[in-house]
Every structure is written in C-alpha cells, then in structure tokens.
Amino acid sequence: MAADFAQVIGVDVSEEMLEVARTHISAPNVDLRVGDGVELPVGSATVDAAFSAHVFQHFDSLALARANFSEIARVLKPGGSMMVHLPVVMRPTGVAGVLAALAIRHRLAGLKDSFRRWRGAPSMRWLEYPRPWLLRELPPLGLVDIELVVFRTTSSGLEHTFVLARRSLAPRPGRGA
C-alpha cells in the first residue's frame, strides 16, 4: 500500500503487533497507530480508502461489526471507498427449521468457545455475516454502491469474500458532512 498511496495509516489493537510491523516496514509514508478496536484514531472524513482483512470474522457480535462499519464510514471522505474482508453467508430465507438449526449451532459454538476461554485455552471467535444484514445495515451509515466480491488467493487458492462500498457524496441523515 505504501507504494500506491501518499499516506498509509495502519491501525491495530496490539502495540506488540505494531512493533513487529515496524521492523518490516521502512516506508516513510506509513504511520502505525494503536486503536481500541472500535474507534479509529483518525479524523472524520480524512481517509480516501479503508481496507481490513482477517478482522471482522473475529468480532463477538453483529452489533460490534456495525459499530466498526460506522467508524469506517465516519473516517472516509465523501466518495471514499472501503474494502473489508469477512465471511458472508447466503442462507435460505423462509425456511424456519434450517434457520433455527443454524442459530442453535451458532449458540453451541459460542458455549464451546466460552468453555475454552474459561479453561485458559486460546480461542478465536468466528462471526459470519448474512448478506441481507450487510445490505440492510450499511446504507444508513452512508455507504453506497455495495458489492460483495469473491477473490481466490494465489498463496492458498482459498476464496475470500470482501464487501466493497463507497461513502456517499451526500451527508449522512442528521449528521452533516
């Protein structure tokens, strides 16, 4: 990114991971900052593009994800774009039994994860994003031209889903520019 952008701001919740990154990055246009996991340490409407990979799938809830999408929308300039990697599921609609079974599976996975953490074992949460949720939640944040794109990585051949969107040129309702 340093070769393609005049300024790159990298944000992580771990100062230790930022120190590791600093040992590998010598570009003078890269600024690495600690964040709290929700609020980006960047001014409102100051960023041309936002990129996130391998983060959103580890959030605890869709509410936390929405807060992070809102924060991305806040820092993007009008017309700015975002590219966020996350696992998107397209479940059948109107099939109550299937949806109930999936909800139970999700709750059981959460209990298993809580038990692992209680025992002191390392554990990562896994959150999937229903396509209808994304299409419903992002526009009120001022994000438009929403697309879901699947890329196959060259390193492993695995497919990764990204949500692409642009911040509207119009101000968010009730928020101004």
pLDDT tens sequence across 83-109: 999 988 765 555 566 566 666 666 666
For residues 52-66, average pLDDT? 91
Q: Domain for residue 108, yes or no?
A: no
Letter string b/e over residues 145-174, b meaning 16 or more CB atoms within 10 A of that residue's CB? eeebeeeeeeeeeeeebbbebbbbeeebee
DSSP class of residue 133 equals H
Q: Domain for residue 12, yes or no?
A: no
Is the model's pLDDT at 134 over the cut of 80?
Answer: yes
Question: Helix (H, G, I), strand (E, B), or coil: what is residue 7?
Answer: coil
CB neighbour list of residue 2: distance below 8 Å, 6 or more residues apart: 8, 25, 27, 29, 30
Do residues 56 and 127 make contact, with C-beta atoms less than 8 angstroms apart? yes
For residues 136-152, average pLDDT? 95
Q: Domain for residue 55, yes or no?
A: yes
* Average pLDDT value over all residues in the chain: 86
Q: Domain for residue 14, yes or no?
A: no
Specify the CATH number for the domain of residue 142. 3.40.50.150
Q: Domain for residue 6, yes or no?
A: no
For residues 121-135, average pLDDT? 79
* CA distances to 89, 95, 133, 158 from 92, in Å: 10, 6, 13, 24
pLDDT at 128: 86
Rounded Cα–Cα distance for residues 72 and 81 (Å): 9
Residue 73 structural domain:
36-90+128-167
Highest mean pLDDT among 58-72, 124-138, 149-163: 58-72
Is the model's pLDDT at 75 over the cut of 80?
Answer: yes
pLDDT at 177: 47
Domains: count for the chain: 1
Q: Domain for residue 153, yes or no?
A: yes
